Amino acid sequence: MPEPTWKSEYEIRENERIVFDYQYANSFPRVGQLNSRFTLTSYNAVARGNALLANERYHRSALRYTRFTGIGGLIANASITFNRKVRAIRNELQFEGINHYSMPVLTDNPETNWMAYGSYSNRVAFFRVGGNVRLSWFDYSQTVNDILANNRRTSHQYTVNMRTEPSDWPRASVAYTKGFNRFRGNTSSRFTTDQLDASLDWRLLRDWSAMAEYTYFRNRNTRTGLSDSYHVANAALDYQPEHTPWGFRLTANNFLDNRTKVSNSISDFLASEQVTYIMPRVWLLSVRYKL
């Protein structure tokens, strides 16, 4: 089977270039997709393979741009990727209450996937400031309960971040990410997310150092108005005298005593909510001896 490829590269100037790739290729089914026996994949899901599957055919192209101006200077990256399957393997689904059955079939329904990414960072005074953007659009068709639905799944994420740059400063960073996720087909779902991350690594005195991490996450279902959020933080205080092999470390895991993490996800056919139970606050005193 022919798989033509093309690659072009253009150097605008030193440390700045544009690269274009194209490929028309095949993707072959996995072993599990060919197994015609029933398999229990979760407590409410049964899958069956299809021994008649053949290879998928798809176009893939990518355009990438990079630029940097040396250590400590500007760094910029951007890329756009386009994938189009002209022959695709897609699961057919049958729902019975909360249970569902799936079997892969080879279809001629085209699938299109666009992805874009961009990042930029530069030094401003004593800080490195930057941000990035991740965008994706996925259009595909899927049969659910003998009804063919045209679906679109989108995901957009925008991040800004900042961290200290001088090596003799405490290492500190903060980042904020805003996300938008949407599914549209026979049903529709929309979620927005907010995430704040911060970290600190600070050598207080000659023998003392402190470390801390903090994450705030909020998830909101814009169709129902329901939202969930959680805070997770860890910290440690370390004491290592210069002229002794003994060292001590006091660690606090989950010191805000958060008990659950709630998040939402969107698959090819289902929007779901996951609840993760985490250990309560833990204090740990460690003593070490260096040989």
Helix segments in the chain, DSSP class H:
31-34
Q: What are phi and psi of 10, to 5 degrees?
A: -125, 120
pLDDT value, residue 210: 95
What does the mean pLDDT of the chain come to? 91
Q: How does residue 86 score in pLDDT terms, banded at 50, 70 and 90?
A: very high
In this structure, are residues 134 and 161 in contact, taking their beta carbons and an 8 Å threshold? no
* 161-219 pLDDT per residue, tens: 999 987 788 999 999 999 999 998 888 889 999 999 999 999 888 899 999 999 999 99
Q: Model confidence at 43, in pLDDT bands (50, 70, 90)?
A: confident
- Percentages helix, strand, coil for the chain (3-state, rounded to 5) are 0, 75, 25
Please report the pLDDT score of residue 32 as a whole number. Answer: 87
Q: List, in order, residues 6 or more apart from 30 with CB less than 8 Å away.
A: none
Please answer whether residues 246 and 231 qualify as being in contact, where contact means their C-beta atoms are separated by less than 8 angstroms: no
Q: Which one has a higher pLDDT value, 114 or 149?
A: 114
pLDDT, average across residues 15-28: 94
Query: Is 14's pLDDT higher than 90?
Result: no
Is 170 in a helix, a strand, or coil?
coil
- Collapsing DSSP to helix, strand or coil, 152 comes out as strand
Distance between CA atoms of residues 119 and 154, nearest Å:
20
